Amino acid sequence: MSSTDDSPGGGRFSDFGPPRRVEGGLRARSTRGAIGQSWWSRRFLEVLESFALGTRLTRGRAYARRGQVLHLDIAPGVVTAAVQGSRPDPYPVRIELAAFPAELWGRIEADLAAQAFFSARLLAGDLPAELEELFAGTGAPLFPADVDELTQRCGCPDFAVPCKHLAATFYLLAEAFDADPFQLLHWRGRSRAELLDRLRTLRAAATPSGGTGAPVDRGGERADGRTPHSITPPGPAGAASTVELSAPAGAARVLGTLPAVPLAEAVDRFWVSPVPLPDRPPTLAIGPELLLRQLGPPGPAIGGPGLTERLRRAYREFGRPRPPADSPQREPSRSGDSPRRERSRSAESPRRERSRPAESPRRERSRPAES
């Protein structure tokens, strides 16, 4: 609950007046409509709005767009801010949400590292929507399920929880999640650097070493429990040697014993692909928002927020499929005119032909009179 004022009656009338103007405050990037661009920021605000907080969030959104929030800090389990109200001194704001314990984070990181999809997306700086389901499956919901999970404190005399200062902090927090999605995980107890380092370590431990040869044999079996595969390469005078194919050194020895390809044949086949090539090179279906989100909002000197939208449209245009080079194209007309002009000319020609015979008798009759 918000803390109350020390003055009698729970606060002066001026405490509930219009806020003081702020220079250099944190202003919401969204100037109208809903706040939140990414799925995680919209989901966070949807959870807050589901708590039936009424018009308090609306007043807080207006505060966020006016730039009344002076600063916003995110730490594991707590968000602190200072919001300028009607008093000379800004109101301190504090929002607490329990961070996950280390043991629970260990299970989450193990599940993330076990699936290449999550590891690749997180290492690329993106939070896939399926992440919410994974967190819920480990018993660690990413977003609060009830308003009681949030401890909200504000230094204003308003009894309502959340007050407009807390609501403004919520909206700025959602936009902070837009700019850096790892801030949401940081609030839950894991910073970006810690999480990515942990994922790299777990992925490296799960990947078998490929540079030191095969695992050690144990009585005809490999250390990993698999039976080694052998090959008898051709040798002189029918001599045979058994080579284990699992080791890189063994593969090199096998290739060295194969018959050499004649140079002329090798030159002829050098530019020929052994398998049919696809019509287009494979591309990763990831939108331009991923790169633009990592760059952050551009400053006014290079174009401001409008530059991000122009780059997004340009990247989408560059990523559109182009027609193949051998697709049939309509040949232009010899005269260079469009087909519509050609049709109009053909329609006008009979009209001109019909008008010419009508004029010829008049000219014939006029000639004898002149003579």
In this prediction, residue 86 carries a pLDDT of 83
Q: What is the pLDDT of residues 237-269, one digit of tens each?
A: 444 444 444 444 555 555 556 666 677 777 777
In this prediction, residue 314 carries a pLDDT of 85
In this prediction, residue 104 carries a pLDDT of 94
In this prediction, residue 9 carries a pLDDT of 40
Dihedral of the alpha carbons of 300, 305, 306, 310, in degrees to the nearest 10: 120
Q: What is the pLDDT of residues 10-66, one digit of tens each?
A: 445 445 577 788 777 787 777 666 787 788 888 888 888 887 666 777 788 888 888
Q: Kindly report the pTM of this predicted structure.
A: 0.52
254 Cβ contact partners less than 8 Å away, ≥ 6 residues apart:
231, 233, 243, 245
Report the relative pairing of strands 217-218 and 221-222 from DSSP bridges. Answer: antiparallel
Nearest alpha-carbon partner for 109 in 133, 144, 135, 77:
135
Is residue 3 exposed (0-12), middle (13-18) or buried (19+ Cβ within 10 Å)?
middle
Q: What is the pLDDT of residues 146-162, one digit of tens each?
A: 888 999 999 998 888 88
Percent of the chain past pLDDT 70, that is, above it, reads: 59
Measured between its terminal Cα atoms, the distance across the chain in Å is 117
How is 195-254 classified by DSSP, letter by letter? HHHHHHHHHHHHSPP-SS-SPPEETTEETTSPPPPEE----GGG----EETTSHHHHHHH
- Report the C-alpha gap between 154 and 176 in whole angstroms: 20
Q: What is the pLDDT of residues 262-319, one digit of tens each?
A: 777 777 777 777 667 666 666 656 666 666 776 677 777 777 778 888 888 888 787 7
Q: What is the mean pLDDT of the chain?
A: 72
- 120 three-class SS: helix
- Report the C-alpha gap between 17 and 342 in whole angstroms: 73
- Report the C-alpha gap between 228 and 217 in whole angstroms: 9
Residue 134 in this model has a pLDDT that exceeds 70: yes
Can you tell me the mean pLDDT for 78-100? 93
Residue 126 in this model has a pLDDT that exceeds 90: no
Integer angstrom CA distances of residue 98 from 76, 86, 133, 148, 162: 8, 31, 19, 11, 18
In this prediction, residue 210 carries a pLDDT of 44
Band (pLDDT 50/70/90 cuts) for residue 227 is: very low
Band (pLDDT 50/70/90 cuts) for residue 190 is: very high
Higher pLDDT, 102 or 296: 102
